[in-house]
Amino acid sequence: MSSRIFHDPQEKFFDDFELGDVVITRGRTIDNSAIGNFAELTGDYYPLHIDEEAAKKTRFGTRIAHGPFTFTVAVGLVGLSGFYGDAITALLEIRSLRATKPVIAGDTLSVHAEVIELTAGDNPKYGTIGVNYSVRNQRDEEVMVFQQFMLAKRRPKETANG
């Protein structure tokens, strides 16, 4: 009996994606240590994110996660899913990023990502993939939305020998 071999990441190309393809990721629960680690990594010590007493006086009543932290968690969850395989060669653009609800410690985030644009372009080696990200909490409330556009390698054309 022959063994099947699975590679991580899976080999994928621009040509493997179709408009309307959707990935729904696993969840990731956000805790105060992750929020604190993000503050440490970025140097963003804004009191709303790191000072519970100051945050209690805000409209949220508690500390909330940094918006860029929520964004990076979303990108990481889709990456972890294997949806893109090894197709992506570059990030081109982020459009229309909106934080629609606060993320607080204890929230579990997941992403519903849908392919909304496929452009082959002029270079036969690459195409552009546009994906709408809907970041949701454990109550299925959208907490962030954005569109990400990436350059993806195209499947090489077979060359005829002789």
CATH number at residue 87: 3.10.129.10
Q: What is the pLDDT of residue 162?
A: 47
Question: Is 37 contained in some domain?
Answer: yes
Q: Determine the length of the chain.
A: 162
* Confidence bin at 161 (pLDDT 50/70/90): low
Strand positions, DSSP E, 26-153: 28-29, 88-99, 108-119, 126-136, 142-153
Question: Is 119 contained in some domain?
Answer: yes
Q: Model confidence over 23-65: pLDDT tens digits?
A: 999 999 999 999 999 999 999 999 999 999 999 999 999 999 9
Instruction: Give the tokens for residue 128.
Output: 């552009």
pTM of structure: 0.92
CA separation for the pair 156, 162 (Å, rounded): 18
In which domain, by residue range, is 94 found? 14-153
| Cβ–Cβ < 8 Å for 56, 113 | no
Q: Distance between alpha carbon 120 and the CA centroid of its chain, in Å?
A: 22
For residue 101, is pLDDT > 90?
A: yes
